[in-house]
Structures are given as structure tokens and as C-alpha cells.
Chains A and B, each alone.
Chain A
Amino acid sequence: MANKVQCELCPNECVLENNQRSRCRARMNKDGVLFSLVYGKPCAVHVDPIEKKPFYHFLPSTTAFSLATAGCVLSCKFCQNWQISQAGPEDTDTYDLPPDSVVRQAIFYKCRSISYTYTEPTVFYEYMYDTALIARKYTIKNTMHSCGYMKEKPLRTLSKYMDAANIDLKAFTEDFYGKICGGSLKPVLNSLVVLKEEGVWLEITNLVIPTLNDDMKNIKEMCRWILKNLGPDVPVHFSRFYPSYKLTNLPPTPLETLTEARKAAMDAGLKFVYIGNIRHEGESTFCPKCRKMLIERVGYFVKLNNISNGKCRFCGTSIAGVWS
């Protein structure tokens, strides 16, 4: 009983005996004190186009200094980065990169932002927080791609330094979150609302997996919830699933399913709905008023940009986002 601690970072709320690891593998109770095992030790560091995160309404055609450490608070059976997300820090090759070095590297590579991504940034919260704080001093933006599985207090604390967040809304049923991800939906929805309240630029990604979360009824329900609670300007990305990790028995998502989901979302009233992980017109941004193409994208690359001072160059409609 002595030296028992409870982590209050994510809804898992791990209770740890002495020398026991958290479920995310990145935290450990040492003699009654909870320590982060991944601080300053990223296992993945890259310079990526911001479109790869994906952020489509946040500093388009700029680069993001992207990093991740080992570990994740969930255990999704379809994880695309399971080699590092479902591993402990000792199972991966890590760099020694303290927060100030991350910012220095971002400046060196002329990145406009630092992105906490690939695995789940919640597991390296302290590292992300300290880095974001320094980055803000040097006018470098902070972005994260997260599953949103974080408790409210740490999320609000982090939001002061976070400029944009792309949250994976993996499905719209508790059943899917419980059986496929080992988590629950409610905390994710709460995180989306908190981020919106805190003024963090928000985009949502929904990976559409054949037979598991491609039911149009649920997708429509999800879109209605987004519209009601977050507003029509939040970009939603329907991403194509490719067989991975424990779901290699399923086929890639058919294009028809993605286009149907996009149409359902736009019919529901969402203004910016995208299709990802596949070359399609749905990768580009269109003006919600005059319907002309504003940003033409091919993969992660921007071919043309018709947004000037945050407005459509053709009809002058304001386009929600962070453009400069």
C-alpha cells in the first residue's frame, strides 16, 4: 500500500505500486513519486509538411518539426505506428533531445511549427509542455495530433501554449472505443469541447475502417454532434484505412465509402470536409460560398492557394483557419 500513486493525466487513471509502469509504458512510480520515462528522449524526429499531420487550415505549405516518444494511452488494433506506440521507451532507439534543442532544431530547419505527433503526445506531456513553452518565446507555433484521451485539467493547462490540435475521433460509439481501442468515447468528446473553448485551432480526423466504423448512420450522428458542439467551420478529415497491426484481415476503405461519408458530413452542414490517404479531389479546399477551389492539394503538397488574408480571393468569404 505504501508508495502507491495514481496518474491523473489521462482517463486510464493508472494506480501504480512502487516500481510499476503505467499502461502507456511511459510513466513509472519510483519510491512514491511518478516519473516520466520519455522526457527529452524522442524515438521519431522528422521535418514534415504540415499537411501530413493533417492540418489543412493551419499555415498551409509550411513545415513542422515533428517528434514523438514511445508509448500510447490507447491500444488501437489498427494503429499505423504500432511499432513505437505499443512499445516502451527501452524498446526503441531514442535521441537525446531536450526541449531547448527541439526549438533550436526547428529554427535551424526553418519550421514554422513544432508538431507533437506519430504516437500519442499525452504520454510525453511534460516534454511537450516544456518544449511548447520555449517555442512560444521564439514565435514558433505548437501543434499536436492526439487521440484526445486526456483529462480536462492537463488539457486546459496545455492549451495555453498549443496553437492547433488535430484530434482523432476514431468512431462515434462507445462499443468501438472499448473493443477496438481499449478506451472510451466520452473523454474524447469532452477534449474536443475543451479545446474549442480554449481557442485552440481544431481539426478532426476520422479513420474509416470497413465493417467497424463505416456505418453511415453513426457517421451522420457524429457530424451532427460536431456541428452542434464545435460549429460548422471545424475541418473534418475522413481518412482511408490500410490493413495494419492487428487488422490485416480487413481491406482498405473503398473510395465510395469515403465520398459517401464526405457527402453526409457536408449535407449535415459542415463546411470543410476532406478525404485523406488517397488521391482525390476531396483533398482540396473549396469556398463554402462560391464553391471555387481555394487550395489545391496533391498528397501533402499545395499546388495553388487562392486564400488571401484569410479570405476567398474570388468572393471575399472569410475562411476559418490560421493562415499566417
Chain B
Amino acid sequence: MGSAASAALPLQEYGVNMITNLNKNKKSLSSLDSAQVVAESGILTRREFLGFFLLGGMVSLFAKKVNAEQKPKEAMFWKRLD
């Protein structure tokens, strides 16, 4: 039976060291570089978004072009009247 003092903090049980994380984030807001924050957070930059958007558009147009160029099926019963 453990005492209250020796019991692990709830988040520590999940392997989260709260003190370390607190120290890491001690920088003041003004010292943060927005580009770095975006890069570290995994959010798409405007440039990346635009890139994906254009790529998607091109793939879609290409697929439509391929579809439109599918050769129609020749009929089975017909004759030339030359």
C-alpha cells in the first residue's frame, strides 16, 4: 500500500514528464518564429497547400481527358454503303 506522496502524478503514469515540457515552453511568445512554429506543428504552409491543390487539379483534368479519349465501342451489326 503506497502513500499519497509516493504516488505518481496522473500524467506521469502515461510517460509524460510535465516539468520538462514546462521548461521547454518557457520561451516568451515574442521570441517565437511563426514559420518555425508552423513547421514544427505539421500544419501545411500556404505554399504546400497551393502545391497540393494544383497537383490535384492537374490529376483530375488528366483523368477526365483519359476518360473522354476512351475509344467508343464499334457496333457489331452494320455495313458500309459505298
Contacts and interface: CB of A to CB of B under 8 A. Distances in A.
Contact of A5 (B72, B76, B78): B78
A153 B77 contact: yes
Nearest to A37: B72
A125 interface: yes
Contacts of B78: 5-9, 34
A34 B75 contact: yes
B74 interface: yes
A276 to B, nearest CB: 32
A36 interface: yes
Contacts, number: 59
Interface residues of A, number: 29
A4 B73 CA distance: 18
Interface string A241-274: 0000000000000000000000000000000000
A96 B79 contact: no
Given A2-B82, A5-B81, A6-B81, A39 B73 contact: yes
A9 B75 contact: yes
B75 A15 contact: no
B12 interface: no
Contact of A151 (B75, B77, B80): B77
B72 A35 contact: yes
Nearest to B72: A35
A129 B82 contact: no
A154 B79 CA distance: 14
B67 interface: yes
Contacts of A310: none
Nearest to A130: B73
A6 B79 contact: yes
> Which of B74, B77, B81 has the largest count of A CB atoms less than 10 A from its CB?
B77
Contacts of B80: 4-5, 32
A7 B77 contact: yes
Contacts of A145: none
A233 interface: no
Interface in B49-82: 67, 72-82
Contacts of A2: 82
B77 A4 contact: no
Interface string A1-32: 11011111100000100000000000110101
24 contacts: A1-B81, A2-B82, A6-B78, A7-B75, A7-B77, A8-B77, A8-B78, A9-B75, A15-B81, A27-B75, A28-B72, A32-B80, A34-B75, A35-B73, A36-B73, A39-B72, A40-B73, A96-B67, A125-B76, A125-B77, A126-B75, A129-B76, A154-B76, A157-B76
